[in-house]
Amino acid sequence: MQFYETDLSRGFVRGSKLHACPTPGLLFNGVDPHRLLAFDELWGKSFHRVIRDARNAIFWAANIDDLPEETNSVTLDPILTDGDGIPAPKISYRYSENTLKIRDFTVKRLSEIHAVAGAKKTIEIADLQGEPGHL
- pLDDT at position 133 is 59
Give the Cα separation of 79 and 108 in Å (integer): 41
- pLDDT at position 127 is 78
- pLDDT at position 132 is 56
pLDDT tens digits along 43-70: 888 888 877 777 777 888 888 888 999 9
* Backbone phi, psi, residue 66, to 5°: -110, 100
Which ranges of the chain does DSSP label H, i.e. alpha helix?
A: 26-31, 39-42, 45-53, 97-116
pLDDT tens digits along 69-110: 999 999 999 999 999 999 999 999 888 999 999 999 999 999
Distances (CA, A) of 107 to 29, 46, 112, 113, 122: 18, 27, 9, 10, 11
Output the pTM of the full model.
0.74
Report whether 64 contacts 18 (CB < 8 A): no
